[in-house]
Every structure is written in C-alpha cells, then in structure tokens.
Amino acid sequence: MGEQRQRPRRRGQGELEALVLSALREADGPATAGWVQERLGGDLAYTTVITILTRLLAKGAVTRERAGRSFAWTCALDQAGLAARRMRKVLDSESDREAVLASFVTGLGPDDERLLRELLRPARHDGED
C-alpha cells in the first residue's frame, strides 16, 4: 500500500494573516514574499502568501516598495493595531454606535474596565495638577 500524504490542516484567514505579520516582524528590513514563504516553512503556496500580503496591504497592516520586478513588504501594524482596526471596522458598520459601545463597556471585566478608564483619562502634562 502506498503512503497517503496527509494534507495540512486548513487555516483561517485571520490565522494566516497573523503568521505572515509575525514573519515580517522578524525580518531585518523589507522582505519579499518568497522570504516570508520560506520563513513559514514553505507549507503555503507562493500565490497564497501574495494574496495574504495584498489583503494586509488593503487593511493598512503592511506597506510595500518596489524591489526589482517584485515587491518588498514591511509590517506597518502590530497584532494590537490590526485587532484595533478590526474593532473600528465593526463599530463603523453599525448604525447605533452608542449602543454598541455601551454594550461593549458593560461586558468588560473589572481589570479591563480599569485599564480602559486609565487610557481614556486625559494625560497630565508636566506642571499640571
């Protein structure tokens, strides 16, 4: 009997984007799609890496610059920035922003609520009381 080659498990778009962003953050500078593909172990097709990078470019998570006949890619947002962008996109798609924000805030745990209050508190400038 011949060995059956097991197909790699299918990953979601968000997971693939996170992997590509992680690889780009490890680069010493702008990186090619081929470098990203190698960095991820080569289990993603080159065209898949290009598709993911293009999606990330549209989201503002990466930038690109011409490198010969190809592009070199750089991470513009970290994971937190990308998550915040997704949260804003969801908020922007709702008609009742106040209700969405109120529901979000009331669902926060005490530690997250305290952190949010600290982040929203106006920053004091030196010399101000």
User: What pTM value is reported for the model?
Assistant: 0.61
Number of C-alpha atoms within 13 angstroms, CB side, residue 42?
1
One-letter amino acid identity for 55? R
Per-residue burial over 15-39, b = 16 or more CB atoms within 10 Å of its CB, e = otherwise: ebbbbbbebbeebeebbbbebbbeb
Average pLDDT over residues 69-78: 90
In tens, the pLDDT along 76-114 reads 877 788 788 888 888 899 999 999 999 998 999 999 999
What average pLDDT does the chain have?
85
In tens, the pLDDT along 53-67 reads 999 999 888 999 999
